[in-house]
Amino acid sequence: MSDVRTPAEIEADIVRRRDQLAVTLDEIGVRLHPKTIVGDAKAKVAAQIDHTVGRAFVSVNRVVSDVKARFTDEEGAPRLERVVPAALVAVAVIGLIATSRKRKG
């Protein structure tokens, strides 16, 4: 058995490889096109922002749930023994801030 190829087989192989090369070059051209690069970068940034916002939402939701659990009972009614002191502290802090601003102004 010989490995001798006919000119037609060689030509067919060249045409096939030329077509493969053209497809490869087209793919490279698309990947390196500025619009493709910008689109890929935008997609990566959007995915990162979505991930960060999602994590922030989960964290905030956890904090809100913890605070709500501290100031309400199992049925959702306010725990006055905790709400009243917290409200008094808030009023005192606001009063101190208002008083210090009046003295400066």
Q: What are phi and psi of 2, to 5 degrees?
A: -110, 155
Q: In the predicted model, what is the mean pLDDT of residues 80-95?
A: 93
Cα radius of gyration rounded to whole Å, the chain: 35
3-class DSSP assignment, residue 27: helix
Question: Could you report the per-residue pLDDT of 65-86, keeping only the tens digit for each?
Answer: 999 999 999 888 999 999 999 9
Map out the domains of the chain as residue ranges.
78-105
Sequence-separated (6 or more) residues with CB below 8 Å from residue 78: 71, 72
CA dist 34 and 14 (Å) reads 32
pTM over 0.85: no
